[in-house]
Structure 1
Amino acid sequence: MTAITKGAPRAFVLLRSRRRLDLLDPDPEAWTDEDLAGGLSRTMRWGGASQWEHPLSVAQHSLTVLAIREADGALTAGEGLRELLHDATEFMLGWDCITPLKAQLGEPFRALEARLQTAIDARYRLPRWTPEDYALHKRADRLAAASEAMHVVGWSRVEMRKTLGIAETPLVHDPLSPCAFAPWEPWPPRVAERLFLERFHALDHAHRSELRKLEPELRSSLVLTGAEHAAS
């Protein structure tokens, strides 16, 4: 564990694994996968507003976005993992900051989020977004949000457009809807954690396999690039 320098700025979070995560200087190895899944299953969307017994978790939202993107077409394991972890920084912060408030918090909050996202990207070796992929992701994210606003929180279509500025048409059918739960019903944290971890482990394992297959090709490319540079 990194020694603490007296007087150095820090903002530690004690995780369920008993590891400490410094939000100001996040170490990509400071948390376990169970910390991440458990945190996201207990982080509430929509400020906790819900018509149901439970609020909607970021874990369930992340699975919904992934399902919408998978319905658009095949994803590599790395692309699927990137979708699943698109809000992973929120487990570190312990809250899902709504977009209008982010604008008020300004550059310091954006810089904090960027540092946390960099740690996530490094830990799971996520592929970088292309402009095309990011546009598809944002469409899925907005579609999930529109559906949640209606089916989970209880906004009407008119209120969504006028008050929230949401123009997307909500989905009728829940792309998840596991047994024992009604469509769009928020799951208890223990269920959200378990289902999130199942998809995470499958995607992470497949993504690591993809990377291992690419490593010889990447090493060859680096050697060739080095030889070309030396010759010049």
Structure 2
Amino acid sequence: MKTIEQPASAWMRLPSGQRIDLANPNPYAWTDHDLSVRLARVYRWGGESIHPIPLSVAQHSLAVLELRRVWAPKPLTVDQELRELLHDAEEALLGFDCISKLKPLLGDPLREVSDRLSKAVAVRYDLPEWTDEERVEHKRADVACAASEALYCAGWTEHEISHVLGIIEPVLKVDPLARRYECTPWEPWPSAVAVERFHVELLRLLGLRGRRQLPKLA
């Protein structure tokens, strides 16, 4: 008897009770809260931390967004801010933040799954494509946050950051999140705190969708 070959699938349960097939992601399979919870449970630096808890991708995403706000010569649009906030959102669905130097060793399968999830996020939130200039500015903020996290959160020395990790962006002296959230600089947030702050910011930006520019934040 001839059997019918089933398409590959990789189902994952979500905090809301919904599920997503990571091999064929439906952009509407998750809730905004699912994304916030999952990003708060995915850790940077392979989970390594000099603090009692690791740094979440949710906190990192908010830091990159805040740094882009500070460094931008003019206020970012709602779409630009939303894209910054969600720049690592596929990791919430994938379930881990792969160490950058490991990605080439894992090869095309990881890249293909990550690309599918990134496209699903872009469709779900109607994110615009990066321009070349925007991508450069985003990367600058992303790498500056990474250099700073490496020192203040993961325990690498400044010499190791440049000579072992190969990160040449200078370490930040000021935590971009400290003033906004009145938190201890460079200290990882508990998961519940990261969930709440990421979710609030995501809903704020989605609520502002349709305005051409954001009002000035206090």
Q: Is this a same-fold pair by TM over 0.5?
A: yes
Q: Provide Cα deviations, 1:165-221, integer angstroms capped at 9, x if missing partner.
A: 111111111111233x421000000000101111111111112x248xxxxxxxxxx
Q: Say if 2:94 and 2:114, in contact at 8 Å, map to a contact too.
A: no
SS in 1 for 2:152: helix
Task: State how 1:5-154 maps to structure 2 within 5 Å.
Answer: 7-73=6-72, 74-154=75-155
Q: Say if 2:42 and 2:91, in contact at 8 Å, map to a contact too.
A: yes
Matched with 2:199 is: 197
Shift of 1:8: 2.4
Farther off after superposition, 10-19 or 170-179 = 170-179
Q: Residue type matched to 1:25 in 2? A: N
Q: Provide Cα deviations, 1:118-165, integer angstroms capped at 9, x if missing partner.
A: 100000001110000001000000000000000111111111111101
Q: Say if 1:45 and 1:96, in contact at 8 Å, map to a contact too.
A: yes
Pair 1:166 & 2:172 matched = no
Which of residues 183, 200, 220 in structure 1 aligns to 2:185?
183
SS in 2 for 1:185: coil
Q: Residue type matched to 1:205 in 2? A: G
Matched with 1:157 is: 158
Q: Say if 1:13 and 1:23, in contact at 8 Å, map to a contact too.
A: yes
Q: Provide Cα deviations, 1:76-113, integer angstroms capped at 9, x if missing partner.
A: 01100000000000011110001111111111211111
Q: Residue type matched to 1:20 in 2? A: R
Identity of aligned residues (%): 47
Q: Distance in 2 between matches of 1:189 and 1:9?
A: 32
SS in 2 for 1:122: helix
SS in 2 for 1:153: coil
Q: Structure 2 unaligned runs (5+)? A: 213-218
- Extract structure 1 runs of 4+ deviating beyond 6 A: none
Q: Distance in 2 between matches of 1:187 and 1:8?
A: 40
Q: Say if 1:160 and 1:166, in contact at 8 Å, map to a contact too.
A: yes
- Which gives a bigger RCO, structure 1 or 2 (Cα 8 Å, sep 6+)? 2
Matched with 1:228 is: none
Shift of 1:6: 7.2
Q: Say if 1:78 and 1:204, in contact at 8 Å, map to a contact too.
A: no
Q: Residue type matched to 2:102 in 1? A: L
Q: Distance in 2 between matches of 1:93 and 1:61?
A: 17
Q: Residue type matched to 2:153 in 1? A: V
Q: Distance in 2 between matches of 1:21 and 1:61?
A: 24
Q: Structure 1 unaligned runs (5+)? A: 212-232
Q: Distance in 2 between matches of 1:129 and 1:184?
A: 28
Q: Distance in 2 between matches of 1:61 and 1:102?
A: 19
Q: Say if 2:40 and 2:194, in contact at 8 Å, map to a contact too.
A: yes
